[in-house]
């Protein structure tokens, strides 16, 4: 009987893990649709690039704000409500994109439907939820689910580029929306499941342990101070992260290569990111903890973001994209791991949502800033260097947290 119960629990955990990964891959396609369509949209309407860049930014900002609400829903009611809202809003929002004729329409769709009510239910709630199902292997589980964001970027840009050439960007938006509704809504039936009772009952004890050990391990930092520090740190890495994610396709085209090569470069970048998230977060996070893992990933991102400003041949762009992806892919999945390690377990949904709100604000700032710099300089090179400077600020904060934990661990227990 015990073996049967254990087998059923493992089956449910694995089902939620796979469903979470699939949900992330499908829903995140809305981000990459605009990345690939950026030049097509600006050309058709004669808009400056800052317009679609701002819409891209609003999706991240709206997703960050909405992530706190979705995290609250997760903590109180489970993953069902966020998953239903995301499925409907991303599907309908994608279809409405095909009718856009004015900038405000694009802003509304991406800020509210695809952002506040759509993307908000993807990264933060999905990764926070999976930590409750895999208490002993949360780094591995978060890495797998988080890899869906990068895997989506590896799969969707080439598909969108092909469909844009075959049927146009408007028709592609409609069919993507239909696909979202047809696939994400059925996944809700799995995602609405609650974690096993044994783990739910163990949460108060684990939470109490975190209240005792978490602040001490950070040299007296309170949960609030830790929350704010992580939130501020996330801005720096995400300003840097969003610049090539939003603009690499256009950048490659500006270098004189076919737009299809730009989609391929983005695909290479995000394939590397998916591999890094899938395997790297579980390995580094499980062995060294979330803080040291994110320092490694963020360092790689800073180095290879700066390198984009100095390379102009296609092979070197592919190489830099792959290495940038290896760094970028592990960063965001590390934040839910750190939140779970140092902050109250029963509040993981909303606390992860707050960190991702700041991260989303950084993504929004970075994507807008790159478009703004391009419109004033005619190049992305200065933007990439500015992004690397923001990334260095993130590394400084993370290094200070690592130093605090190292000093505190050397002190005698009291």
pLDDT digits (tens, 9 = 90+) for 339-364: 888 887 777 778 888 888 898 788 87
How far apart, in Å, are the Cα atoms of 377 and each of 219, 343, 370, 408?
Answer: 46, 43, 10, 47
Please, what is the Cα angle at 35 between 304 and 271, to 5 degrees? 50
**CA proximity to 151, closest of 317, 64, 22:** 22
3-state secondary structure of 79: coil
Residues 6+ apart with CB under 8 A from 330: 143, 273, 276, 277, 280, 281, 284, 293, 294, 296, 297
Residue range 31-87, pLDDT digits in tens: 889 878 888 888 889 888 788 888 888 887 888 888 888 888 888 888 999 999 999
Look up the CATH number of domain 8-409.
1.20.1250.20
Residues 6+ apart with CB under 8 A from 76: none
Taken in order 230, 127, 33, 87, the sign of the CA dihedral is negative
Residue 188 has pLDDT above 70, yes or no: yes
pLDDT above 70 as % of the chain: 91
Contact 307, 387 (CB under 8 A): no
- The CA-to-CA distance between both ends of the chain, in Å, stands at 44
pLDDT at site 116:
92
The two tokens of residue 331 are 């960063």
3-state secondary structure of 332: helix
- Where does the pLDDT of residue 413 fall: very low under 50, low under 70, confident under 90, or very high at 90 and above? low
400/414 Cα distance (integer angstroms):
23
Least confident of 60-64, 188-192, 197-201: 197-201
- Where does the pLDDT of residue 3 fall: very low under 50, low under 70, confident under 90, or very high at 90 and above? low
- Where does the pLDDT of residue 5 fall: very low under 50, low under 70, confident under 90, or very high at 90 and above? low
Residues 195-223: what's their mean pLDDT? 51
Residue 207 has pLDDT above 50, yes or no: no
How buried is 193 (Cβ within 10 angstroms: 0-12 exposed, 13-18 middle, 19+ buried)? middle
347/131 Cα distance (integer angstroms):
12
The two tokens of residue 127 are 């990764």
The two tokens of residue 332 are 């965001």
Residue range 264-278, pLDDT digits in tens: 898 899 889 888 888
So where are the chain's domains? 8-409
More confident call, 403 vs 213: 403
Residue 110 has pLDDT above 90, yes or no: yes
> In which element (H, E) is residue 201 found?
helix 197-217
Residue 384 has pLDDT above 90, yes or no: yes
Rg (CA), the chain: 20
Residue 206 has pLDDT above 60, yes or no: no
Residues 95-105: what's their mean pLDDT? 92
**CA proximity to 142, closest of 17, 8, 10, 317:** 17
355/10 Cα distance (integer angstroms):
30
């Amino acid at each position: 009987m015990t073996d049967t119960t254990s087998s059923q629990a493992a089956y449910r955990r694995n089902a939620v893990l796979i469903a979470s990964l699939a949900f992330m891959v499908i829903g995140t396609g809305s981000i990459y649709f605009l990345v690939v369509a950026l030049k097509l949209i600006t050309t058709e309407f004669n808009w400056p690039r800052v317009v679609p860049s701002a819409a891209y930014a609003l999706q991240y900002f709206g997703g960050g704000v909405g992530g706190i609400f979705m995290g609250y829903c997760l903590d109180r009611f489970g993953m069902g409500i966020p998953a239903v809202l995301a499925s409907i809003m991303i599907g309908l929002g994608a279809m409405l994109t095909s009718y856009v004729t004015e900038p405000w329409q694009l802003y509304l769709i991406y800020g509210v439907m695809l952002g506040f009510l759509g993307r908000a239910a993807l990264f933060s709630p999905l990764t926070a939820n999976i930590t409750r199902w895999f208490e002993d292997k949360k780094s591995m589980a978060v890495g797998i689910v988080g890899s869906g964001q990068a895997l989506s970027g590896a799969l969707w840009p080439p598909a969108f580029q092909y469909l844009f050439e075959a049927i146009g960007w408007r028709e592609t938006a409609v069919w993507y929306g239909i696909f979202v509704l047809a696939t994400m809504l059925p996944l809700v039936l799995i995602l609405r499941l609650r974690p096993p009772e044994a783990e739910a009952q163990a949460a108060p004890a684990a939470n109490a342990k975190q209240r005792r050990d978490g602040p001490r391990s950070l040299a007296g930092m309170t949960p609030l101070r830790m929350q704010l520090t992580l939130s501020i740190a996330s801005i720096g890495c995400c300003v840097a992260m969003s610049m090539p994610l939003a603009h690499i396709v256009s950048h490659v085209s500006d270098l004189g290569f076919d737009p299809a090569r730009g989609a391929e470069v983005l695909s290479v970048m995000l394939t590397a990111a998916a591999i890094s998230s899938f395997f790297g977060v579980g390995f580094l996070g499980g062995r060294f903890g979330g803080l040291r893992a994110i320092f490694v990933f963020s360092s790689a991102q800073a180095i290879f973001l700066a390198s984009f400003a100095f390379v102009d041949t296609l092979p070197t762009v592919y190489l830099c994209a792959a290495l940038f992806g290896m760094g970028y892919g592990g960063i965001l999945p590390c934040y839910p791991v750190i939140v779970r390690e140092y902050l109250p377990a029963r509040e993981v949904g909303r606390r992860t949502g707050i960190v991702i709100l700041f991260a989303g604000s950084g993504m929004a700032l970075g994507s807008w800033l790159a478009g703004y710099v391009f419109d004033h300089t005619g190049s992305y090179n200065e933007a990439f260097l500015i992004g690397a400077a923001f990334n260095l600020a993130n590394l400084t904060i993370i290094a200070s947290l690592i130093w605090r934990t190292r000093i505190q661990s050397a002190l005698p227990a009291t």
